Amino acid sequence: MAVLELRPEGLYCPAGDFHIDPWRPVERAVFTHAHADHARRGHARALAQRDALGVLRQRLGEMPIDGVDYGETRRIGGACVSLHPAGHVLGSAQVRVEVAGEVWVVTGDYKLDPDPTCAAFEPVRAHTLITESTFGLPVYRWAPARVLFDGIDAWWRANAEAGRASVVYAYAFGKAQRLLAGVDASIGPIVCHGAVETLNRCYREAGVPLPPTRLASAIADRGALSRALVIAPPSAQGSTWLRRFGEYSDAFASGWMQLRGARRRRGTDRGFVVSDHADWPGLLRAVRESGAQQVYVTHGQAASLARHLCELGLDARLFETRDFDAHFSGEGEEPAEGVAPAEVDTDPPRGLDPAPPVRIDAAPAGGADPASPMRVDAGPTVGVDPDPPAVDGSAPPGPLDPDARAAAGRSESVRRVSAHDAGPEAGDA
């Protein structure tokens, strides 16, 4: 039974008559989090995790939004809906939908790394999982948080001793606050761009502790500015706003900084690998711990992750949102981290009159025998560890289905699900 299906407006639950992170205005929306590529204006009403309400109202205005706690179940029509921590940003949630005993989970954006500014990711058991794959390639593996912030602190300290401000470009919602919570605030003053400071207030009102921050205009002592850590959105790079800091060293904070080419294109002195999305081991762990045997993969490097999951014996398919990602791509004027570091097309996407609704069904990928038991250790992609250690260093969990090790079913292809003709396959952006 298909609990969710893809409609022109986005992901839809027929039993509950609601959409999850819809692209177009609908009667009832369920938001996974408050980033602009997931929560949009124009809906008649919406549901979101309670901690996200401050940012949602600041960004969307007076839209009626009902807040619920993590784990609280709401009956919407014939569906039972609950929200569970995703670890992405403040108030981010996975959406669990149960209809007649069938459970589907939509992860939204998520990460498994520790982050003191939001509730930690919790695995949710499901029959079917719809997962993001922003960094769905084996090259993306994040360093431990302490290693990351020790590097940032050392760079800031060296700049302060040389009389240079340290400017970090980071997305204003989520990334900026994670940086603030992780750095050593004793090194010097911390200055935030106005776009960042507005969201800092939302975090503080939600009870998230952040170090003291100030606007640049509130600091008259230019000597203090020369020792400051400055957090600014990427749009500030090269702007006149930076002149007030005199000599400075700059850095870009993003998961894309894992690649030297991306660091070079950004044209900054440094690149720090900081992501609010799961890395490759985190994606595999989240899928494994969900227990799902059917997985839909969307956003970013979807084709790579789906192919690997098929090799592990899961029924994995592409859930294409490519044209919508290119248009609804992010944080106000900033492209979202989920959009690869390249030019983002700001024209309306072509082909927005999709074909009739496509049902996300339970048929197996690649003609696999639906009666065949699955196997999660069927064999790795070359050079990839299919069972990486857990993020917290503990032993990895066992297989999704303890009885599945008796068989060796493997899907040889990846099936694609799209609301319209999406063109090139997802993951090559």
According to the model, what pLDDT value does residue 410 have? Answer: 36
Burial degree of 201 (CB within 10 A; 0-12, 13-18, 19+) = middle
Copy the structure tokens of residue 178: 């994670």
According to the model, what pLDDT value does residue 101 have? Answer: 97
Within 13 A of 172's CA, how many CA atoms are on the CB side? 27
Q: What is the mean pLDDT of each run of 10 residues along the chain (429 residues)?
A: 91 98 96 95 96 95 94 98 98 98 98 97 98 97 97 98 97 98 97 97 97 91 89 96 95 95 89 97 98 95 96 92 47 42 29 32 36 28 32 34 33 49 29
According to the model, what pLDDT value does residue 415 have? Answer: 57
Q: Which domains does the chain have, with CATH numbers?
A: 5-141+277-418 (3.60.15.10), 145-272 (3.40.50)
H or E stretch at 417: strand 415-418
Distances (CA, A) of 364 to 6, 49, 316, 416: 18, 33, 8, 12
According to the model, what pLDDT value does residue 416 have? Answer: 60
Summarised one tens digit per residue, pLDDT across range 237-260 is 999 999 999 999 999 999 999 998
H or E stretch at 161: helix 145-161
According to the model, what pLDDT value does residue 391 have? Answer: 32
